[in-house]
Structure 1
Amino acid sequence: MHTTTQELDRLFAAQKAAFGRNTMPMLDERLDRLRRLEAAMVRNRKGFQETLAADFGSHSPMVTDLFETGGVLGRNRYIQTQLAEWMQPSERPLNAYVHGQSSARVIRQPKGVIGNLAPWNFPIECALVMVNDMLAAGNRVIVKASEQTEATSALLRRAIAEAFDESELAVVCGEDIAFAEYFCTLPWDHLTYTGGGRIGRNVLRLAAERLTPVTLELGGKNPTVFSESGVSADLVERFLYNRVFKGGQVCTSPDYAFVPAHRLDDWIALAKSTWSAMYPSYVGHPDATGTINRRHYDRILGYLSEAEAAGCTVISLNGDTPDSERLQIPMYLVIDPDEALGVMTDEIFGPVTAVKPYTSLDEAVDYINSHDRPLAAYFVGRERDLADAFQTRVIAGGIGINVFGLQGAEPVLPFGGIGASGMGCHSGYEGFLGFTHGKSVFECADDSPLMAALKGPYGAMTQAFADAVFPPS
């Protein structure tokens, strides 16, 4: 059930017309839309569990509940509790000596019709979690679902069509890259894209033809720095089970790790023992998420082959081997690879971790800051001074201290990249602001001294105001 460009044009025109008839939806209207989205997630809980399992080959229903539909629900319910306050105009004080009883305020005006290009790795969460922000801000939205997750995208389209009039929120399913590119060329009032940097550049280029504002969530190579105290069984275990979450196919997943050089052997031994205790056999386990398709499966294994050919130590933590039928890959470490290898140049997006020795926090921070800005950066350890220095000095979209990904999943916090990892943000109050326009309103009172001074012909009062701008000579 692929959407044609003609159908997309019709949907876009319908939403534009509907927004034109109601450019400032009231609180009750916005809350109603949020509640219908909430109900759609609850109503289709089982269906989304099944479609994600079908699309990935293996996908835990608990992961679906917590981080796909659950991610949408968490943001949705938080926004409902905050929206009345967020919608209030922001009054700005004026200098009475200059403006008399004039007043100034900022109104959060909805932008209009927003397009959202969703990725395959979180085909529900990334399709709809930002929609919460967009609907709360009073906008109308068209989501382009991923063509790589056919079953989930089809159900997503049906679920939204059952809950919303197409003039409020709609989901479209394109057939190929040409449809996605056409999607980007429409005169959106805002466009969002979640995915890789290569496509992100193309999205930005196409949107620029219309001067369309764009939010990009691009990911990147997210570093983790272990301190001395971080080399412990509990914290190494925490890193590993987050590293393999959804098969490592997460934009905030830790990508490579720095370990104190004199503790490298200890870290590797802990990784082996803790992982093997958790999963004596991971491949084939119900918790293991399959790689999305054969191309990505082969790409990830290609990093291992390249590293082995270059003489690197490559370790399967519990001795598992890849399963080409299930497209499941076990947890691998690549020890101290050369900078030119793919495992160090590319975002891995799979359960393969490069582990690099380091001698000081300065060395690790300088390395991170000399490369493309990551979407997330992580510090693992109990030293308060080192954690403070890390979060202050590292330039990244977000920071996790002894946690991985929750800085991007917590509804009270903004989530966004910087530089190569993206632009703009969603979530939290900042997400609401990002999908509105801060419209300035200045209401002039009749007793405004400045207005009197601007009246021509200019005279002594005008001169007094001009002189007041400069310090006495």
Structure 2
Amino acid sequence: MTSQASLSVTTDTKQNTLNEVFSLQKSAFQITPYPSLAERQHALKLLQRILVNHQQIIIDAINNDFGLRSPDETRIAELIPSLQAIRYAQKHIRRWMKPQRRHVGWQLQPASSKILYQPLGVTGIMVPWNYPLFLAISPLVAALSAGNRVMVKMSEYTPHTAELFKQLITDNFPEDLISVITGSADVAIQFSRLPFDHLLFTGSTQTGKKVMQAAANNLTPVTLELGGKSPTIIAPDYPISEAAKRICFGKAMNAGQTCVAPDYILLPENQLTFFIDAFSAHFNQMYPDFANNPSYSHIINDQQYQRLQQWLTDAQQKGAKIINVSNFAPDTTTRRFPIHLVTHTNDNMLIRQEEIFGPILPLITYQNIEQAIRFVNQQPRPLALYLFSHEQTLHDKVLINTHSGGVCLNETLLHVAVDDLPFGGVGPSGMGHYHGQEGFQTFSQAKGILKKGRINSTQLIYPPYKNKAITWLYKLLLR
């Protein structure tokens, strides 16, 4: 009884804190509903300075959360794209803020029209554990560029990074502009129930559905980045060894714990053995002495490690053949888990049903490219699609006949790093976009404005309607 009461008090306290921060930001926004270009630029400059001046402690915090996260991976996949996003916004924010002139038809003349991109207000960002810095900074840059106040909920699975990020933000920004929230899943639930003016969530499809349900009670618009099973198609014309090398890099990054990691491979039936051999060779060249290699990240926690092991067992029991591309067996103590290629899969296996989010890669063969396209279209729409081919006609065919949030041709992952491309899912892999200008627009209200002058041409259609002018207007427009 005492324990239950204590839990209730703790939860209520957290909710009160969230409500207080939300109210604080709401009041601040009402005082400054349209921050100037200088104010927005200052916030971005300060954010940039934080990242540049605290690189090493950020790297150390993420490393502590993973057990081992390569410093180079953190620089390449988190720090560099975060700083690029800030610099890109700094360069373009003046143009994004500028009202856009729009056309007014002759029937409404004399008049002018424009779109004013107005800040939404208090926005929420829910950050996942796999890239805890970049997936906090990237949407934060978009929200600040658009002139909003921001509450950021960090993942409970990366506590070192969460506490450090909270401290860095608290030391440099007022709480009524940016507030970082830490805590367990119950805090995240309460966070998603706040009446934000916009809420961006990155994470699993299951959790995304719950977040959307919570937001719906407040009619809060949401952007959901959910992942899914991103396919990779290797066309017959593409050199199999080069494809294996590029795919190996994309799949091994962060030990496959990436929302846009290649989830399964579709390749010509006669290339299967060559691909396995080439992939294994490239993996061992990239990560020599795998047992002691400092460049390969560990699985984030025991729960995720056990899930991956269970999924491999499930596949094996249902007839799959599993190839560990390293001589090193997965280690329960360190959670070091090399990539496992899986052949002879079927729809009953968990690795064919769920987003893998780890170093397991099913290989599925096809006899012709149409069969591969049909297979992709039979699955839920993914966050990313990868095609390896040098044939432009095939590029066009796949782009037109498949749906995905984004596409890389002859590459994996890197489209996410292009600031001028929108990033987002479609259908089960999410909704809405951010990054660059699309991020600015996501966190803005595109307010349409019509302006009329002293001449009142509208009086031509005032009642009573029995006049020659309106009859003439009907003859022009109703044809």
The answer to whether the superposition gives a TM-score over 0.5 is: yes
| 1:353-379 superposed Cα distances (whole Å, 9 cap, x missing partner) | 000000111111111112111000001
SS in 1 for 2:290: coil
Measure the CA separation in 1 of the matches of 2:189 and 2:461: 51
CA contact (8 A) 1:100 1:447 kept: no
Q: Quick one: distance in 1 between partners of 2:79 and 2:20?
A: 29
8 Å contact from structure 1 (residues 218, 251) kept in 2: yes
CA offset at residue 207 of structure 1?
Answer: 0.5
Residue 51 (structure 1) aligned with residue 58 (structure 2): no
- Distance in structure 2 (CA, Å) of the matches to 1:179 and 1:53: 24
Who is 2:16 aligned against? 6
Code of the aligned partner of 2:440: F
- The one of 312, 315, 323 aligned to 1:315: 323
Instruction: Report Cα offsets for 1:77-123 as digits up to 9, x if no partner.
Output: 00111111111111112234x23331111100111110011111111
Give the equivalent residue in structure 2 for 1:27: 37
Alignment partners' CA distance in 2, 1:206 and 1:467: 51
Compare 53-62 and 375-384 and name the one that shifted more. Answer: 375-384
Are the equivalent residues in 1 in contact too, given 2:234–2:243 (CA < 8 A)?
A: no
Q: 1:395-435, CA deviations, whole angstroms, 9 ceiling, x for partnerless residues?
A: 00000111111112211110000000000010121121111
Correspondence for 1:243 among 233, 241, 251: 251
Task: Give the aligned residue type for 1:382.
Answer: H
2:136 aligned residue: 127
Bigger shift: 145-154 or 380-389?
380-389
Partner Cα separation in structure 2 for residue 447 and residue 241 of structure 1? 65
Residue pairs, 1:50-199, within 5 angstroms: 50-96=60-106, 98-174=107-183, 176-199=184-207
Counterpart Cα distance in 1 of 2:24 and 2:195:
13
Is 1:233 matched up with 2:241? yes
CA shift digits 1:171-201 (9 cap, x unpaired) = 0102x32211111111100001000000000
Paired residue for 2:314?
A: 306
Q: Structure 2 counterpart of 1:197, which letter?
A: T
Structure 1 stretches (4+) deviating beyond 3 angstroms? none
Matched residue SS, 1:23 = coil
Amino acid at match of 2:337: I
SS at match of 1:270: helix
Unaligned runs of 5+ in 2: 1-9
SS in 2 for 1:68: helix
Task: Quote the residue 1:255 is aligned against.
Answer: 263
Q: What's the CA shift for 1:448? A: 4.2
Shift of 1:462: 2.5
SS at match of 1:323: coil
Cα distance in 1 between the residues matched to 2:284 and 2:161: 33
Which residue matches 1:453?
Answer: 460
Contact 1:231 1:266 in 2 (8 A): no
Aligned length: 468
* Conserved? CA contact 2:351–2:362, under 8 Å: yes
- Which residue number corresponds to residue 343 of structure 2? 335
Pick closer, same or farther for the CA change 1:274–1:69 going to 2, 3 Å: closer
Q: Which amino acid aligns with 1:272?
A: S
Match in the other structure for 2:420: 412
- Asked if 1:437 is matched to 2:445, the reply is yes
Partner Cα separation in structure 1 for residue 407 and residue 40 of structure 2: 32
Of the structure 1 ranges 253-262 and 312-321, higher mean CA displacement relative to structure 2 is found in: 312-321
The percentage of aligned residue pairs carrying the same residue is 32
Question: In 1, distance between residues paired with 2:131 and 2:282?
Answer: 28
Unaligned ranges ≥5, structure 1: none
Quick one: which amino acid aligns to residue 80 of structure 1?
Answer: Q
Q: In the alignment, is the contact (CA less than 8 A) between 2:287 and 2:296 conserved in 1?
A: no
SS of the aligned residue for 2:131 comes to: coil
SS state of the match for residue 4, structure 1?
Answer: helix
Number of the residue aligned with 1:369:
377
In the aligned structure 2, how far is the partner of 1:151 from the partner of 1:411?
28
User: C-alpha separation between the residues in 2 aligned to 1:360 and 1:337?
Assistant: 19
**1:34 touches 1:80 (CA, 8 Å); kept in 2?**
yes
Report the 3-state secondary structure (helix = DSSP H, G, I; strand = E; otherwise coil) of the residue aligned with 1:129: helix
Residues 279-301 of structure 1: CA deviation (Å, up to 9, x unaligned): 34324310111111101001111
Cα distance, 1:65 vs structure 2: 1.6
Are the aligned partners of 1:375 and 1:398 in contact in 2 as well (CA < 8 Å)? Answer: yes
Is 1:402 aligned to 2:410, yes or no? yes
1:38 maps to 48
Q: 1:17 aligns with which of 23, 27, 35?
A: 27
Give, in whole Å, the separation in 1 of the partners of 2:354 and 2:292. Answer: 27
